[in-house]
Chain A
Amino acid sequence: MGKIVSIHSFRGGTGKSNAAANLAAQAALRGKRVGVVDTDIQSPGIHVLFGLDETNMGATLNDFLHGKCEIEDVAFSVGEKAADGEGRKKLAGKDLWLIPSSIRGREISRVIREGYDVNRLNEGLQNLIEKKKLDYLFIDTHPGLNEETLLSIAISDILLVILRPDNQDFQGTAVTVDIARSLDVTNLLLMVNKAVPNKYDYNDLKQQIEESYKAPLTGILPLNFDIADNASKDLFSLRFPDHPWSRELVKVAEAILAVE
C-alpha cells in the first residue's frame, strides 16, 4: 500500500512547495513510483517547478473535484512530458505524476467560495494510489490548519512539518504537532528551511526542537538565494545536487523513505 506523505507548514513562505516537489523528485529518482498533489488550491504553485504553465496545463484537480473528469485524467507524467529542464531531465523515464491545481482565477475563486468535497478528494487520492501503483503520494498542503488541511494531515502516513528558525514558526509548529498527535498521525518528521548559515548554533537548535516537539528533525536547509535565481522553474536539488540545500534535502528524503 502506497504511503501518503503530507508536506505542511503552519505559516506560508516556508518553502513548502519547493521542498515537496524536490522530495517527490528525489523519491522518483530512487526508483519509487511517486505522485505529487497540489492541494493548495487557493494559491497553487508547485506546477511551475515541473514546467507547467497556463499554456500546457491540461485537466486539473479542480476539474476532478467538480466531477468533470477522473483523477487519472489529471495525472501529468513528469517523466514522459516534462523532463526538459536541466534538473528535470534526470527524471526522464521515472515514475512521477503531478496532480496540479487550476491556476485560472475563476476556478480558484469558485473553490474558495464553495469549498470542495473532501470525501471526493480522498476517494480520488486512493484511486490514484491504486491505479498508478504508487509507493508514495506527496501532498503539498495549504498552510495553516483549516478543515481540508486537517483532513490531509489526518489521513497521512507521514507528516513532514516545515518551519523556519523563528519564534512565530516555533509557536505555530507546536500547535500543528499537538493537532497531528490528536489526529493519530504516527510518523511525524520535522524540517527546518531558510536557516541563515552560521547565524545560529544549529546543533543546539536541533536538540531544542527535537526535545520540544518529540519528533526527529530530519534536515536543516540553508536560506538559499540560488533557488530564487533558479526562478523556481526547475527542480533545484536535481539541477544543483552538490549545493548544501540539496544535500540537506536529500537527508530529509531519505528519512521519509526510511519510514516503515
Chain B
Amino acid sequence: MNGEIIRLKKAFMFQGLPDEALKVLAQKITRQRLKKDEVLFRRGDSAQALFIIEEGEVKIVREDENGGELALNRCGAGETIGEMSLFDREPRSASVVAAAPTHVLELKREAFFELLNQHPDVAVSLIRSLSSRLRFASAYIQTATEWSKKIAEGDYSFMEQNQPEALTDEDKAEQMLFEFFKMAKGVKEREESLERQVQKLTLVIDEAKRRQEVEELTSAEFYSQLKTQAQKIRAQRRDRS
C-alpha cells in the first residue's frame, strides 16, 4: 500500500495531497499497461475518465483525411491527460497513442469530482496544468500561422533558420512544429518539381511539305530572274563601295 502511495505522489495533480487522501484514491484507481503504438482512446470517444501517466510516454495525435497522423503533443510521467472532456462533457478532442510501453492510471469521472470537492488544491494544480497547455497551444498557433503566411507567399526561408534538429527541448511547441515542418517541406518539394516540369517543345517540321513549298517558289518563272537580279545588285554594291 505504501508503494502505491509513493507512486501516486509522482503525479503532478496529486502533489500536496495528504497520505490519507491518497490511500482513499488508491482504491479508486485502476492501472492499464499499453504497448507501444497501442491506442488509449480515440478522438470522438465519449469520456468517462481521466488518465495519469505513471511511466512511459504518449502522443496526442489527430488523424488527417488520408490516414496520416499529426502529433500535436507528447506527455510523459506525472502528467494528466483526458481531463478536459470530464469538465466540458464533450467527446475526446484528440486520440492518445502510446509512444513507448506505458503505464497509465485511470480515474473515473465520479471519483475525480469527489476528489475535487474534498481537496481544492487538486483543482489548482489542474488549472496550472491546463494553463501551461494553453500557453503551449498559443505558441504553436502563433508559429504555425507565421509559417503558413510565409508558405502562402512562397517564402521558405524559415526552413533554413529552423532546422528541426536544432529545436530545443525547452520549447515544446517548436518540437511539435516538426510535423508542420515536414508538411512545409513537402509543399516546397512539390512546388520545385512543378517548376522543373516545364514542357519540352518538340520542333516538328513536315519535310515533304517543306520541300514542296520550296520547290514551288524556286521553280516559279520570276525566281530565276530574281536570283540574277539579286546577284547583279550585289555586284553593283561591291563596285560602288
Task: Report Cα–Cα, A252/B154, bound state, in Å.
Answer: 34
Given contacts A150-B217, A201-B199, 10 further A-B contacts (CB under 8 A): A151-B230, A165-B201, A174-B205, A175-B217, A178-B210, A198-B195, A200-B201, A201-B201, A204-B200, A208-B202
Q: Which 6 A-B pairs have the closest CB atoms?
A: A1-B241, A154-B230, A200-B201, A208-B203, A178-B214, A175-B213
Distance of A243 Cα from B66 Cα, bound (Å): 45
Closest residue of A by beta carbon distance from B209:
A171
Contact B240 A130 (CB under 8 A): yes
In the complex, which of the residues A165, A178, A199, A212 contacts B198, with contact meaning CB atoms closer than 8 Å?
A199
State the majority secondary structure of interface residues on B.
helix
Asked if B206 is at the interface of the complex by the 8 Å CB criterion, the answer is yes
The answer, yes or no, to whether A108 is at the interface (CB within 8 Å) is: no
Complex formed: what's the CA distance from A20 to B112 in Å? Answer: 87
Contact present for B226 and A154 (CB under 8 Å): yes
Within 8 Å CB of B236, what residues of A?
126
**Residues of A with C-beta under 8 A to B199:** 199-201
The reply to whether A170 and B204 contact each other, CB–CB distance below 8 Å, is yes
Q: Give the bracket for the number of chain B residues in contact with chain A.
A: 20 to 34
| Complexed CA–CA distance, A204 and B237 (Å) | 40
B240 touches A171 (CB 8 A): no
- How far apart are the CA atoms of A199 and B170 in the complex, in Å? 47
Instruction: Report the bound CA distance from A130 to B201 in whole Å.
Output: 45
User: Once bound together, how far apart are the Cα atoms of A82 and B195, in whole Å?
Assistant: 44
Chain A residues in the interface with B (C-beta under 8 A): 1, 118-119, 122, 126, 130, 145, 147, 150-151, 154-155, 165, 167, 170-171, 174-175, 178-179, 182-184, 198-201, 204-205, 208-209, 212
Taking a contact as CB atoms under 8 Å apart, the answer to whether A212 and B218 are in contact is: no
A171 contacts B210, C-beta separation under 8 Å: yes
Q: Which single member of A119, A155, A174, A205 contacts B201 (CB below 8 Å)?
A: A205
- Is A179's CB under 8 angstroms from B227's CB? no
B213 contact set on A, CB distance < 8 A: 175
Task: Tell me if A145 and B217 are in contact (CB < 8 A).
Answer: yes
**Which chain A residues lie closer than 8 Å to B200 at the CB level?**
200-201, 204
Closest-by-CB residue of B relative to A165 is: B201
Q: Which residues of A contact B223 (CB under 8 A)?
A: 150
In the bound complex, what is the Cα–Cα distance between A148 and B233 (angstroms)?
A: 14
B residues within 8 A CB of A178? 210, 214
Chain A residues in 8 Å Cβ range of B209: 171
CB distance from A176 to the nearest CB of B (A): 10
Which chain B residue shows the least CB distance to A200? B201
B222 interface residue (CB < 8 Å to A): yes
- A154:B227 contact, CB within 8 angstroms: yes
Q: How far is the CA of A155 from the CA of B230 in the complex (A)?
A: 6
**Interface mask (B207-241 → A, CB under 8 Å = 1, otherwise 0):** 00110011001100011001101110110111011
Neighbour of A175 across the interface among B195, B210, B241, CB < 8 A: B210
Q: Which of B218, B226, B241 contacts A151 (CB 8 A)?
A: B226
Query: Which of A182, A184, A204 is the one whose CB lies under 8 Å from B218?
Result: A182
Residues of A within 8 A of B195 (CB): 198
Name B223's closest neighbour in chain A (CB-CB).
Answer: A150
A170 touches B226 (CB 8 A): no
Nearest residue (CB) in A for B229 is A151
* Contact in complex: B233, A122 (CB < 8 Å): yes
Given contacts A147-B222, A182-B214, contact A198 B206 (CB under 8 A): no
- Kindly state the separation between the CA atoms of A182 and B241 in the bound complex, as whole angstroms: 25
How far, in Å, is B61 (CB) from chain A's closest CB?
Answer: 39
Asked whether A171 and B202 contact (CB < 8 A) given A147-B226, A155-B234, the answer is no
Contacts of A199 in B (CB 8 A): 198-199
Distance A167 CA – B201 CA, assembled complex (angstroms): 9
Q: How far does the Cβ of B197 sit from chain A's closest Cβ, in whole Å?
A: 10
CA distance A119 to B203 in the complex (A): 38
Task: Tell me whether B218 and A201 are in contact (CB under 8 A).
Answer: no
Q: Could you tell me if B230 and A170 are in contact, using CB atoms closer than 8 angstroms?
A: no
Contact A200 B222 (CB under 8 A): no
Residue in chain A with minimal CB distance to B220: A147
Q: In the complex, which residues of chain A have a beta carbon less than 8 angstroms from the beta carbon of B202?
A: 208
A204→B201 CA distance, assembly (Å): 8
A197 nearest CB neighbor, chain B only:
B198
Are the CB atoms of A174 and B210 closer together than 8 Å?
A: yes
**A183 and B230 form a contact (CB under 8 A):** yes
Q: How far is the CA of A201 from the CA of B241 in the complex (A)?
A: 45
Once the chains bind, are B226 and A198 in contact (CB under 8 Å)? no
Closest Cβ of chain A to B93, distance in Å, is 44
A258–B225 CA distance with the chains assembled, in angstroms: 32
- Cβ of B229 and Cβ of A170 under 8 Å apart? no
A-contact 0/1 string along B127-145, CB 8 Å cutoff: 0000000000000000000
